[in-house]
Amino acid sequence: MPMDDALWRLDAVATANLIRTGRASAREVTRSALARLEAVNPKLNAVVVPMAESALAAAATADRAQARGEFLAPLHGVPVTVKINTDQQGHATSNGVVAFRDNIAAGDAPVVANLRRAGAIIIGRTNTPAFSMRIFTENDLHGRTHNPRDRAITPGGSSGGAGSAVAAGIGAIGHGNDIGGSVRIPAYCCGVLGLRVGLGRIPSFNPSIATPMPIGSQLMSVQGPLARSVRDLRLALSVMAQGDPRDTRWADAPLVGPPAPRRAALVPEVPGGATHPVQAEAVRAAGRHLAAAGYAVEETAPPDIEQVITVWHRIGSTDVFGALRPAIDTYGDEAAKTSVAHWLALSPPTDLRGVLEALALRDLLLRRWQTFFMTWPIVVLPTLADVPPRFGQDLTREGQAKVLDSLRACLLAPALGLPGLSQPVGMHGSLRPGVQIMAARFREDLCLDAARVIEAAEGATAPIDPAW
């Protein structure tokens, strides 16, 4: 039986197998994960609501169920984390905002309920920037989350706590959500994997929120897992994607679609701005890995990339920020207010007609992309166009302009409701360059298949200690 102090290193699939075969107990695994949390979280501040007592109680319950010979769900006994902007019964859905610190959820969001039903043990809740609309994870309520690879570099956002935790071995799977890159960017910055699912794949709402969700959020915001292995992403997807009849967008689509040609389109340089050479090379390296495995690979771009980016900004700046900004101005910390002010100065809101035209154009652009995927079932491009930024870059107009320029590739998937998988490829100092694999609607399986090939060539992603 493995020693407790080594169990935290394992991925979710290996952990579940150990528990299922009786070579480790859920309590031993949970104790190991909590010890790792206690050892590294003081440096990282990734988990801002540790849950040691309830986690150990849940693990004990899991072990008793196994001893009675009960059915073991796929994540039975596996430690995971949940983001603080998502309802979890008995905990505040604070979204990193001081004024919301007492907004205690009466029940679980569907994605949290799905994790629990799958047997996962929630060991803590992870940090996010205030209102979850920056790629720098810090707020006045819980402070700053650090990247275990470099303390001066953002861990990404808004699921920065999840990215930092997974990279450092605090839980095998981290829950996140993504409206403009908030799963994929932390995965990239912290050197792990992150899967933004397509629209309708995972039920996505907070029962505690009774007000209408902006149309832009309905179309672009989704849930998704962060992990250190492709097989963990696949397992987490199968668990999180279980349906909820209250979600008006969830679709009962198969997790594995029909066979598709093994063809990959590469976009090393993202149209519309600059692309850092290490990011372009990561895309080409991923292409070489895919070609070696039998994929037909070509540098060719999907249609109208710059128009898709414009669609995100028109909908996001006008509808999403239009609904959110009054609350940010009233309750947000100074960093959130400053960042959003620069964002909207650089990408001004349009009028109602402009939003309606953007929504209409979105449908046309999605049709063109779906047609492109018929020939090229996957597209590989950078996650961010630039290397991960240092903290505070978005707090000046010039710095925010660089952030928005780097975000270009991340906005494509949410603008069209498509899946996108962020994966590390290569090294750049202490950081990992990162590629993003996109596919057609409900074809997360094709993203995962390609990522498995790249992972086999690059080697497994292991947890790391903080670099200071």
Catalytic residue set: 83, 158, 182
3-state secondary structure of 141: coil
Contact 81, 165 (CB under 8 A): yes
3-state secondary structure of 281: helix
CA 54, 59, 62, 63: dihedral to nearest 10 degrees? -140
Contact 94, 296 (CB under 8 A): no
Could you give the CA distance from residue 438 to residue 50 in angstroms, rounded to a whole number?
Answer: 34
Nearest to 420 by CA among 379, 389, 362, 386: 379
Could you give the CA distance from residue 304 to residue 292 in angstroms, rounded to a whole number?
Answer: 29
Contact 263, 375 (CB under 8 A): yes
Contact 402, 389 (CB under 8 A): yes
State the number of CA atoms in the 13 A half-sphere of 424 facing the CB. 26
Could you give the CA distance from residue 228 to residue 30 in angstroms, rounded to a whole number?
Answer: 18
Sheet containing strand 193-196, edge to edge, reads 47-50, 121-126, 79-83, 173-178, 222-227, 193-196, 420-424, 434-439, 378-382, 263-266, 296-299
